[in-house]
């Protein structure tokens, strides 16, 4: 199940806390009581419920999932995969709320298209069709809306997908943050592909396709007035062609995940909870640019919790790791791919 993109990458990181060691396991404790959530502590939704961390998981696991539990929803993958007229179909949906709506390297429109294209790609699917729904705040400059629509058009054309249906709503001034966008998408999954978070196996290698935390810092550079010798631009990009190359290389990909909201750590924790395994990261192997490191130090953030929009996490068997790195590094979106850790037994 996808979670809406959080409005504030800084709050994303701060609400997660900092990493003090590199061991992740699936034994995060969740409160159990007659009420699905500890309402004595949270009688209202707080920002942390949208951060992709522990409270987000509680909200989904304790309140949403029990009401809709079924075999397609249960994996809480980036999308649902099911058969339709003999085809394996992937279906995904996502909501996008970001401030500012324009930032170095992209805008909310490119994020919306790339985000759903990438969620389908993480299922191993070839994206085909998108829907788009807009919630517009009264007073939004028409020129800004036109820029967003044009960005979505360009991003969809570049990704080779068609926007085929949608909706528009307008709310009173002050009832939204300029514009919110929801996109849904469908794609076709090849029969030989078996990508699933439960397939992470002890001994597997964890690979990231390039430097992390770029997107979140690109937004913060605008919001906080940070200046760098080299501009930090969002890494937002469609990843389906990169994934298609990985599949074409006949590599048995166990798990794929794009570490968006909540960053690399939150994505890996979700996988550990599904696969009932642990993960051991080598933090010195994780690619991070000097500009991003410096910005994270200034802002008091851990880059492992900062959002990405153009990176893929892949988990494969040890014997396939080198070949996967070759495939990734042959593509402009994966030139700095690196092995950053391995899957371990939760008792290790």
**CATH no. for residue 48?**
3.30.1330.10
Residue 102 has pLDDT above 60, yes or no: yes
3-class secondary-structure state, position 188? strand
Q: What pLDDT is attached to residue 346? A: 85
Buried/exposed 166-179: b ≥16 CB within 10 Å, e otherwise: eeeeeeeeeebbbb
Task: For residues 238 and 168, state if they share a domain.
Answer: no
From 171, 188, 205, give the residue that closes a domain.
Answer: 188
Among candidates 304, 288, 211, 212, which has minimal Cα distance to 12? 304
The answer to whether residues 34 and 172 belong to one domain is yes
Pairing between β-strand 313-316 and β-strand 205-208 as defined by DSSP bridges: antiparallel
- Which pair of structure tokens corresponds to residue 159? 């990704």
Name the residue range of residue 106's domain. Answer: 9-188
Order of strands, sheet of 80-84, starting from the edge strand that comes earlier in the sequence: 80-84, 87-96, 179-188, 126-137, 162-171
Write the pLDDT tens digit of every residue in 154-196. Answer: 999 999 999 999 999 999 999 999 999 999 999 999 999 999 9
Distance CA 262, CA 22 (A): 16
Query: What are 24-70's pLDDT values in tens digits?
Result: 554 433 333 344 555 446 788 888 777 666 777 778 778 888 888 88
Q: Is residue 306 part of a domain?
A: yes
**How many whole angstroms separate alpha carbon 344 and alpha carbon 140?**
50
User: In the predicted model, is pLDDT for residue 309 greater than 60?
Assistant: yes
* Inter-CA distances, 270 with 8, 293, 308, 315, Å: 20, 25, 16, 13
Query: Tens digits of per-residue pLDDT, 196-230?
Result: 999 999 999 999 999 999 999 999 888 888 887 77
Residues 209 and 287 in one domain: yes
pLDDT band at residue 71 using 50, 70 and 90 as cut-offs: confident
Number of domain units in the chain: 2
Strand, coil or helix: what is 120?
Answer: helix
One domain for residues 203 and 336: yes
Vertex 247: Cα angle to 241 and 252 (nearest 5): 145
Residues 325 and 205 in one domain: yes
Q: Is the pLDDT of residue 272 over 80?
A: yes
Q: Last residue of some domain: 123, 155, 188?
A: 188
Of 188, 209, 242, which one is at a domain's C-terminal end?
Answer: 188
If asked whether residues 169 and 232 sit together in one domain, one would say: no
pTM of the predicted model as reported, rounded to 2 decimal places: 0.86
CA 17 to each of CA 48, 49, 240, 306, 340: distance values in angstroms, whole numbers, following the listed order: 11, 14, 31, 11, 20
- Is 1 part of any domain? no
């Amino acid at each position: 199940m996808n979670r809406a993109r959080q409005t504030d990458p800084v709050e994303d990181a701060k609400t997660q806390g900092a990493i003090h060691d590199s061991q992740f396991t699936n034994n995060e404790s969740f409160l159990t009581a007659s009420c699905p959530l500890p309402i004595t502590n949270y009688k209202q939704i707080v920002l942390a419920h949208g951060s992709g961390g522990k409270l987000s998981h509680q909200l989904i696991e304790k309140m949403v999932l029990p009401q809709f539990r079924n075999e397609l929803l249960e994996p809480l993958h980036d999308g649902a995969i099911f058969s339709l007229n003999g085809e394996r179909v992937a279906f995904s949906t996502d909501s996008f709320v970001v401030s500012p709506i324009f930032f170095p390297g992209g805008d909310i429109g490119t994020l919306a298209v790339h985000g759903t294209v990438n969620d389908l790609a993480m299922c191993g699917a070839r994206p085909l069709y998108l829907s788009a729904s807009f919630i517009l705040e009264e007073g939004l400059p028409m020129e800004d809306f036109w820029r967003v629509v044009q960005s979505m058009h360009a991003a969809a054309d570049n990704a080779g997908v068609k926007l085929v249906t949608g909706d528009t709503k307008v709310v009173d001034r002050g009832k939204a943050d300029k514009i919110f966008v929801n996109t849904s998408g469908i794609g076709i999954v090849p029969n030989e592909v078996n990508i699933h978070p439960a397939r992470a196996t002890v001994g597997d290698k964890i690979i990231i396709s390039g430097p992390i935390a770029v997107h979140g810092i690109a937004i913060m550079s605008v919001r906080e007035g940070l200046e760098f010798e080299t501009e930090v631009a969002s890494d937002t990009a469609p990843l389906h062609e990169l994934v298609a190359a990985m599949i074409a290389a006949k590599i048995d990909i166990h798990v794929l995940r794009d570490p968006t909201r909540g960053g690399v750590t939150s994505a890996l924790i979700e996988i550990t909870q599904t696969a009932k395994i642990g993960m051991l990261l080598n933090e010195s192997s994780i690619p991070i640019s000097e500009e991003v490191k410096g910005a994270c130090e200034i802002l008091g953030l851990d880059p492992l919790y900062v959002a990405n929009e153009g990176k893929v996490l892949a988990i494969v068997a040890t014997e396939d790791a080198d070949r996967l790195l070759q495939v990734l590094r042959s593509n402009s979106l994966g030139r700095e791919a690196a092995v950053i850790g391995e899957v371990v037994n939760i008792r290790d």
